[in-house]
Amino acid sequence: MTLMQNAITAAPLLSVQGLTKRYGARIGCMGVGFDLYPGEVLGIVGESGSGKSTLLSCLAGHQRPDEGRILFDGADVLAFSEAERRRLLRGDWAYVHQNPRDGLRMGVSAGGNVGERLMAVGARNYAAIRETATDWLGRVEIAADRIDDRPSAFSGGMQQRLQIARNLVTGPRLVFMDEPTGGLDVSVQARLLDLLGGLVRDLGLSVVIVTHDLAVVRLLADRLMVMKSGRVVECGLTDQVLDDPQHAYTQLLVSSVLQV
Amino acid sequence: MTDQAYNFAYLDEQTKRMIRRALLKALAIPGYQVPFASREMPMPYGWGTGGAQVTAACLTPDDRLKVIDQGADDTTNAVSIRRFFQRTAGVETTERTAEATVIQTRHRIPEQPLSEGQILVYQVPIPEPLRFLEPRETETRKMHELEEYGLMHVKLYEDIARHGEIATAYAYPVRVEGRYVMDPSPIPKFDNPKLAGNPAIQLFGAGREARIYAVPPYSDVVSLDFEDHPFVASKADHECDLCGSAGSYLDEVITDDRGTRMFVCSDTDFCASRQAQGHRGRLSPQGATP
Amino acid sequence: MIEIRNLSKSFTLHNQGGVAIPVMAGAHLRVAGGECVGLVGRSGAGKSTLMRMVYGNYLAGGGSIRIGEIDVVTAEPRQILALRRAVLGHVSQFLRVVPRVPTLEVVAEPLLRLGVPPEAARTRAADLLARLNIPERLWRLSPTTFSGGEQQRVNIARGFAHDYPALLLDEPTASLDAQNREVVLRLIEEAKARGAAILGIFHDEGARDRVCDRLVDVTGFTPGMAA
């Protein structure tokens, strides 16, 4: 039972309270709160305009919320200076964009893309940087001989895997993902899901993943938050929310998709 | 000899004061790019409009001006800028590095060590060292502010990955006083060590981009590199064919249409001075006296 | 080990006029360690609903479901996740896995999640797959391409990889041939012998008679169906 005890007594890695973002009279997200524990994957689902992307960008520090608190490892992230915030973004946090072009430097080789975060935190040994980059390309199933190719020469799935390697190379503890499998072929999606699942388990990552794809959260997320019109309408265990949805909107959402 | 139709050194006094304020700020924050209200100059962008504005703001009637282009005093660009200030400021000019109080340069640092009291003015085409990898000015300013310079090493990494070594041969990035990363203008990396600990005041002017930055005397200036690929101040592995110097930066000159080449000092004053002292190179006229 | 008290449940169908359907009321049930209890009752009586509430993928309306120290009805999601990892195993009728993951990894995964060293986890997975007669040449392939019976056996191997103190079995012998059915029944008997509390649905009467110590008719828990 020790494992159970550990899981239950551990402190949350990320604690969000009353997060609100307005755009004038329009609500981006409203009163969102949750705790994310080490090693947990939280899925956020909802249709376009439900506020899930606004929430993610507030969490990841791309936008400043109007109200609420975000505690990471107990520290009040919104009180951070920009320098501290950016240090977090290239150290303990990572962000995987839906479009790999937004998360990669397209004019820089694959090795340089993976090495950038290392160099940003002070790595100054070329051979060591290259070795680490090669190792990470292998982990995301990119052949070592592609290390000097630019991402523009890669397929969409490879670009997305490269973006993941680039983000995880410095061993972040919390990863934000915005529709990481969006825009990919189904077979490529499966491969990426497999990869992400393995990395999450092996590295003990905590993940907040935003998607509209219920099949993706079914396979990756431990817990699920359903958003509508900027508010959280339901949250709980992923399979509970999908198998026994309580809120009218969630019932509609679940019944509207093909069997997952 | 001043042309009375112009204010001293062409620019009006208010403009020169504005530039001087920018220069003082630049000297106070070594390596930091200070925006200034760059003026139109009677020469095209890319011909040294930034350097000329800085020179104009520094000149006094007692100054002695030297202008070099790639080390040479006698090329079109150098000659026209020298004539410009002769006409508008009436200052004395010289080709002797040691005698000049203000030296405007394009793409070189003179071989003769500078001394206290001298001002070296660089013409700068692109002041932002991070521009190559990050096109957004808002972002590069933020990166300077927060000392996020990992990207600079990405550029050097790419060099080594592609060429097996750091192939950047000019405009080689430096870090000034342990703080700002700076583009030293397109000087050959051979000149980079001369940026550090230099007794002269080094001023950098970018006219088109409207930026001024500076390296105060005796500043710490370090060329970026990797532990296992250290910075090397390289030059052509030859001696000057005119003065025999083995330690100066050389230009390669094609002398006929059969590919015959010669190597000569890029710093014409340095080369001429050595020849005057009797130094001879491989292609010096035998027995001729300069 | 598993103790259910006064459990109730209704579904509210918001998109069909908000109609509320009570599906369970006053359910009581106790499964001790080393005991196997079979749920019976006609189709639609709520056997699967009860199983799902115990596993936590259906929310209970009221009552309690204690498994060890945890009450599934009131537990936080992460407590249920921890419970599922270490204490409560589940063999469902459907295999739901990330595509492309090799069968051996699928079976070893519950152990890897518990922090068992990969070598040991794979050895255990290989033993189970061999016992359940999954040819070794298939271990490197994803089970998503397997036949129904093969998928069912992979699912069973996965469910038995870790020695859970409590186990939920939903038709574990369905679509199996006699030989593999025998293997599964032995696995269940072994789990009982080491003290696991097992709650199951068995349509296979022979299997039910062989492994179940008691049967509970859920019809008694179903509002409007009590005979």
Chain A residues within 8 Å of chain B (Cβ atoms): 82-83, 86, 90, 105, 107-109, 111-112, 115-121, 124-127, 129-130, 147-148
**Neighboring chain A residues of C99 at a CB cutoff of 8 Å:** 190, 193-194
pLDDT, tens digit (0-9, with 9 covering 90-100), for A140-185: 989 999 999 999 999 998 999 999 999 999 999 999 999 988 878 7
Of the candidates B145, B161, B229, the beta carbon closest to that of A112 is on: B161
Q: Answer yes or no: do B146 and A83 touch at CB < 8 A.
A: yes
B5 versus A104: which is more confidently predicted? A104
Q: Answer yes or no: do A190 and C57 touch at CB < 8 A.
A: no
Chain B residues 133-172 with CB within 8 Å of chain A: 133, 142, 145-146, 148, 150-151, 153-154, 157-158, 160-162
Nearest to C173, CA basis, from C163, C183, C164: C183
Nearest to A204, CA basis, from A168, A180, A250: A168
Nearest to C13, CA basis, from A244, A232, A47, A45: A244
> For all residues of chain B together, what is the average pLDDT?
93
- Sequence-distant (≥ 6) Cβ neighbours of residue A69 within 8 angstroms: A15, A16, A17, A18, A19, A76, A78
Q: Using CA atoms, how far apart are residues B267 and B32, in angstroms rounded to an integer?
A: 29
Nearest to B121, CA basis, from B108, B98, B104, B96: B104
Q: Which chains touch C (3 or more CB pairs under 8 A)?
A: A
Instruction: Report the DSSP beta bridge partners of residue C21.
Output: C11
Q: What are phi and psi of C79, to 5 degrees?
A: -70, -40
Ranges of beta strands (E only) in chain C are: 2-13, 19-31, 36-40, 62-67, 70-71, 88-91, 166-170, 197-201, 214-217
pLDDT attached to residue B132: 80
Q: Report the pLDDT averaged over residues B191-217.
A: 97
pLDDT attached to residue A9: 63
Query: Is residue A231 exposed (0-12), middle (13-18) or buried (19+ Cβ within 10 Å)?
Result: middle
When pLDDT is cut at 50, 70 and 90, the band that residue B288 belongs to is: very low
Lowest mean pLDDT among B12-16, B46-50, B59-63, B281-285: B281-285
Is C99 within 8 Å of A260 (Cβ atoms)? no
Could you give the angle at the alpha carbon of C43 between the alpha carbons of C39 and C49, nearest 5°? 60
pLDDT attached to residue B72: 94
**For B164-232, where are the alpha helices, taking DSSP H only?**
192-195
Q: Say yes or no to pLDDT of A7 above 80.
A: no
Is A38 within 8 Å of A173 (Cβ atoms)? yes
Q: Using CA atoms, how far apart are residues A44 and A209, in angstroms rounded to an integer?
A: 6
> For all residues of chain A together, what is the average pLDDT?
90
Q: What element of type H or E holds C113? A: helix C103-113
Chain C residues 109-138 with CB within 8 Å of chain A: 109, 112-115
**Neighboring chain B residues of A130 at a CB cutoff of 8 Å:** 161
pTM of the predicted structure, to 2 decimals: 0.85
Q: Which two tokens stand for residue B158?
A: 């790419």
Q: Using CA atoms, how far apart are residues A22 and C93, in angstroms rounded to an integer?
A: 46
The label of the residue with tokens 């085409």 reads B125
pLDDT attached to residue C193: 96
Is C175 within 8 Å of C165 (Cβ atoms)? no
pLDDT, tens digit (0-9, with 9 covering 90-100), for B231-286: 999 888 999 999 999 999 999 999 999 989 999 999 999 999 999 999 999 988 76
Q: Would you give per-residue pLDDT tens digits along chain C (227 residues)? A: 899 999 999 998 888 888 888 899 999 999 999 999 999 988 888 899 999 999 999 999 999 999 988 999 999 999 999 999 999 999 988 887 877 789 999 999 999 989 899 999 999 999 999 999 999 999 999 998 898 889 999 999 999 999 999 999 999 998 889 999 999 999 999 999 999 999 999 999 999 999 999 999 998 888 875 44
Q: Report the pLDDT averaged over residues A191-208.
A: 86
Active-site residues of B, by number, are 31, 240, 243, 265, 271
Is A113 within 8 Å of A106 (Cβ atoms)? no
Q: Report the pLDDT averaged over residues A97-108.
A: 93
Is C162 within 8 Å of C89 (Cβ atoms)? yes
Of the candidates B142, B162, B228, the beta carbon closest to that of A126 is on: B228
Greatest extent of chain B over all pairs of C-alpha atoms, in Å: 61
Q: Using CA atoms, how far apart are residues A90 and C151, in angstroms rounded to an integer?
A: 43
Of the candidates B148, B151, B227, the beta carbon closest to that of A86 is on: B148
Q: Using CA atoms, how far apart are residues A82 and A79, in angstroms rounded to an integer?
A: 9
DSSP assigned state of B188? B
Is B185 within 8 Å of B124 (Cβ atoms)? yes
Q: Which two tokens stand for residue B283?
A: 């292609």
**Alpha-carbon dihedral of residues A247, A253, A258, A260, nearest 10 degrees?**
-60
Instruction: Report the DSSP beta bridge partners of residue A43.
Output: A209, A224
Q: Say yes or no to pLDDT of A258 above 70.
A: no
- Sequence-distant (≥ 6) Cβ neighbours of residue B221 within 8 angstroms: B174, B175, B176, B177, B182, B184, B192, B195, B196, B197, B215
pLDDT attached to residue B285: 75
When pLDDT is cut at 50, 70 and 90, the band that residue A255 belongs to is: confident
Query: Is residue B18 exposed (0-12), middle (13-18) or buried (19+ Cβ within 10 Å)?
Result: middle
Is C191 within 8 Å of C34 (Cβ atoms)? no
pLDDT attached to residue B230: 95
The SS3 of residue A105 is: coil
pLDDT attached to residue C227: 44
Is C180 within 8 Å of C131 (Cβ atoms)? no
The SS3 of residue A108 is: coil
Greatest extent of chain A over all pairs of C-alpha atoms, in Å: 57
Q: Which two tokens stand for residue A210?
A: 């935003």
Asked if chain B contacts chain C via 3 or more Cβ pairs within 8 Å, the reply is: no
Is C97 within 8 Å of C106 (Cβ atoms)? yes
* Strand pairing category for B174-176 and B221-223: antiparallel
- Sequence-distant (≥ 6) Cβ neighbours of residue A256 within 8 angstroms: none
**Around Cβ B245, how many Cβ atoms within 10 Å?**
22
The ipTM value here is: 0.88
Q: Answer yes or no: do A251 and C14 touch at CB < 8 A.
A: yes
pLDDT attached to residue B286: 63
pLDDT attached to residue A1: 44
DSSP assigned state of B283? T
Q: Say yes or no to pLDDT of A15 above 90.
A: yes
Q: Which residue of B has its CA nearest to A146?
A: B161
Of the candidates B145, B154, B162, the beta carbon closest to that of A116 is on: B154
Q: Answer yes or no: do C100 and A190 touch at CB < 8 A.
A: yes
Q: Say yes or no to pLDDT of B192 above 50.
A: yes
* Strand pairing category for C214-217 and C36-40: parallel
